[in-house]
Amino acid sequence: MVWLAESASSVYPVFDPASPFAEAIYSLFLKVLAISAVIFLIVAGLITVAVIRFRDKTGGNGEVPKQDFGSHKQEIFWLVGPVIIVVWLAAISAKLVFTVNAVPQAHPDAGEQPDEEIEVRGHQWFWEVKYPGHGIVSANEVHLPVGKKIRIKLTSEDVIHSFWVPQLTRKMDAIPGRDNYFWIGASKPGVYQGRCTEFCGMVHAWMNFKVYAHDEAEWEEWIAAHTKDPELPTGGLAAAGQKIFETATCIDCHMISGVGGTTMIAPDLTHFSSRGEIGGGVFVNNRENLEKWLSDPQKWKPGCKMPNFKLDPEELQQVVAFLESLK
Ligand code: CUA
């Protein structure tokens, strides 16, 4: 199975687990795949033998080969064999559930305390991410320290979403009015792709996110940089852009710590320029793409809540400069 895993890992992240939870899921998957392959080969082999060996060789005179009826030995074999296989599959699946499952071990009342707690809230169509221990709010990116046991508290603002990082953890539904708890972790530093895996409306496909797993020094650095409010511009294009942000209703939907706003409607932009992507994975975050995005969000993410503000070229440059100053 190694060749399969190696050729597939670059294309399908489920073949490249990077956490104890994902490893356990992957290992079960390989076992089920192996037993299914063996059963398939036996059944396909028997059918092939039957088709070749017992085919009608008489030229169609209607003669039927010898038939077997009432063989207790065969009946017991075909009954007990599958039962053993099914019970074994159920047992290893149940073991996996207890290994990776959120409930009950990850529930705050269960007593097993995480190294870090992160709150994730699904919105149409972005992920709000909070670090209550550090007072940090962000969006569409989850940052975590490598080798730690992290608990995610997951919920939704509107409809059912589903949070999945194939290399790091199980899938978990984000359900409005309900908190779901589960563990996540990463064995090695890296960037891991996450997606919404429950159809949640028109731009479900652009509800992607990334998980950044940092080593200890990098994690401390990230925390230190993000617990501070960004330094606001004192003049020039960026300051003019801030004025537009505050007066052209951007602030009614987006939060920038130190400036104002709300996190309930649209992604927090406090440290926007440190983010890797725009619009839940629509664009890589750079100047050119930011200009494209701001010029016509509906063109790139049709149905999202951000309207086209019809900024003139000068205003566009000012808003871009402001957003890029949010380090
Ligand atoms: Cu959120 Cu699909």
**Which protein residue's CA is at the shortest distance from atom 1 of ligand 1?**
161
- The confidence score (pLDDT) of residue 195 equals 93
- The confidence score (pLDDT) of residue 8 equals 56
- The confidence score (pLDDT) of residue 103 equals 53
Question: What spacing in Å lies between the alpha carbon of 200 and ligand 1's midpoint?
Answer: 4
Convert the pLDDT of each residue in 164-187 to its tens digit. 999 998 899 999 999 998 888 899
- The confidence score (pLDDT) of residue 215 equals 92
Q: Which residue has the higher pLDDT, 256 or 79?
A: 79
Give the mean pLDDT of the chain. 85
Please say if the pLDDT value at position 3 is more than 60.
Answer: no
Mention every residue, 6+ apart, whose C-beta is less than 8 A from residue 5.
15, 16, 30
- What string of DSSP letters covers 61-123? S-PPPP-----HHHHHHHHHHHHHHHHHHHHHHHHHHHHH--TTTTSGGG----SEEEEEEEE
Please say if the pLDDT value at position 2 is more than 60.
Answer: no
- The confidence score (pLDDT) of residue 131 equals 93
CA distance 71 to 61: 28
Question: What spacing in Å lies between the alpha carbon of 12 and ligand 1's midpoint?
Answer: 20
CA atoms within 13 A on the CB side of 133: 12
Convert the pLDDT of each residue in 47-58 to its tens digit. 999 898 888 777
Q: What is the mean pLDDT of residues 231-258?
A: 82
- The confidence score (pLDDT) of residue 64 equals 72
Please say if the pLDDT value at position 104 is more than 60.
Answer: no
Convert the pLDDT of each residue in 113-153 to its tens digit. 788 899 999 999 999 999 998 888 898 999 999 988 888 99
Q: What is the mean pLDDT of residues 71-95?
A: 91
The pTM assigned to this predicted structure is 0.81
Asked if residues 321 and 236 have their Cβ atoms less than 8 Å apart, the reply is yes
Q: Which two tokens stand for residue 315?
A: 């205003």
Question: What spacing in Å lies between the alpha carbon of 17 and ligand 1's midpoint?
Answer: 23
Quickly state the pLDDT bin for 107 (edges 50, 70, 90).
Answer: low
- The confidence score (pLDDT) of residue 45 equals 97
Q: Which residues line ligand 1 (CB under 6 A)?
A: 122, 125, 161, 196, 198-200, 204, 207
Question: What spacing in Å lies between the alpha carbon of 60 and ligand 1's midpoint?
Answer: 59
